[in-house]
Amino acid sequence: MEALALERKAEQNRELRERLAQLKKERNAIILAHYYQRDEIQEVADFRGDSFLLAQKAAQTDADVIVFCGVHFMGESAKILAPNKVVLVPDERAGCPMADMVNPIGLRELKAKHPNAKVVTYINSSADVKAETDICCTSANAVQVVNSVDADEVIWCPDKNLGHYVQQHTDKKMIIWEGYCNTHDMLTVKDVYEMRAKYPNAQFVVHPECRPEVVELADFVGSTTGILKYCRESSHQEFIVGTEDGTGYQLRVDSPDKTFHFASKFLVCPNMKVNNLKKVVKALETMQPQIHVPQDVADKARLSLERMLLVK
């Protein structure tokens, strides 16, 4: 029975992929997929990447339609950077709890208390918050962005764990918002010790959205793209991975001869996994759900994103 179910699933996915190829051609559409998406989505994506790479692709594409397979704030960023494109998300319920932990009212109040500070906001945030921001960043360029700011004081939001990591690499005073990634924050020191005991020859690589005490145990700390690059280029053959389990797809593509163990069974973002191949096809068939950002908000938010893209 199980073999029959797998066969039916494979046939269904084949039909969906064929339909998707047809729709992409008809709509002049491009599929952008975050590394945390299901394998079936990453397999059909035109570009796989982290928030930074996908923001770049959204800004540069000649496609008329962008299907953004990630969470809602990523679709917003694509629409802000490509206002003349139609931006679709497979499921508009795919939100980000961390992005919801900061709001424009609270941020304005904090800015009033620190009038000389510049606001650096993680791209994992709403368009309304980006509109209150001087410059955005991703985990890939957070340190460079903070150090590029023309101010001695920086308001950082919303991820306190990434903020703590950045604080170790800058002389600027950082006022850090108390937000966090629900998924990365679940990884504990106990988890890491247990995995190292089980796989003593493996290196531990970790995302800086994890807790500081977990990050301190790492052999390598980096963004999703940084982790992928390190594992691909490293001479080591075995890794304990401290980031969302969707990265396993690209890790296996890049290094089929290496072994990867995820540091915890809880490193799964339920919001990222809301999307599936069937929903991607339906989005292009119906041209819904579309992302809309009010023009006044988009105009302000665009400045913070464009400044981020200019930082080397």
If asked whether residues 162 and 192 sit together in one domain, one would say no
Q: Evaluate if residue 6 carries a pLDDT over 80.
A: no
Same domain membership, residue 172 and residue 113:
yes
Residues β-bridged to residue 55:
none
What is the pLDDT confidence band of residue 1, given thresholds at 50, 70 and 90?
low
Alpha-carbon distance 258 to 255, whole Å? 6
Does 15 reside within a domain?
A: yes
pLDDT band at 101 (very low <50, low <70, confident <90, very high): very high
SS3 content of the chain, % helix, strand, coil (to 5): 45, 15, 35
Whole-angstrom distance, CA of residue 164 vs CA of residue 211:
9
Is residue 201 domain-shared with residue 138, that is, in the same domain? no
Higher pLDDT, 113 or 312: 113
237 shares its domain with 276: no
Given a cut of 90, whether residue 52 has pLDDT beyond it is no
Which residues does residue 65 pair with via DSSP β-bridges, in sequence order? Answer: 29, 86
In this structure, are 170 and 208 located in the same domain?
no
Q: Mean of the pLDDT values across residues 177-193?
A: 97
Whether residues 171 and 214 share a domain: the answer is: no
The residue out of 152, 181, 210 marking a domain boundary is 181
For the residues 54-78, what does the mean pLDDT come to?
Answer: 94
Average pLDDT, the chain: 95
Say how far apart CA 278 and CA 236 lie, in whole Å. Answer: 38
The answer as to whether 307 is a domain residue is no
Mention every residue, 6+ apart, whose C-beta is less than 8 A from residue 166: 142, 143, 146, 156, 174, 208
Q: What is the mean pLDDT of residues 41-48?
A: 97
Say yes or no to pLDDT of 4 above 80.
no
Q: pLDDT at residue 312 above 90?
A: no
Give the contacts of 66 (CB within 8 A, at least 6 positions apart). 29, 30, 32, 58, 78, 82, 85, 86, 87, 88
Does residue 312 belong to any structural domain of this protein? no
- Identify whether 172 is part of a domain: yes
Cα gap 274→75, rounded to integer Å: 15
Question: Which is nearest to 305 in space by CA: 88, 76, 110, 99?
Answer: 76
Specify if 42 maps to a domain: yes
- 163 Cβ contact list (under 8 Å, min separation 6): 156, 157, 174, 176, 177
124-149 pLDDT tens trace: 999 999 999 999 999 999 999 999 99
- Domains held by the chain: number: 3
The DSSP secondary-structure symbol of 140 reads T
* Domain harbouring 243, CATH code: 3.40.50.10800
* Interval 210-240: pLDDT, tens: 999 999 999 999 999 999 999 999 999 999 9
Instruction: Please report whether residue 296 resides in a domain.
Output: no
Mean pLDDT across 203-209: 98
Range of the domain at 146: 99-181
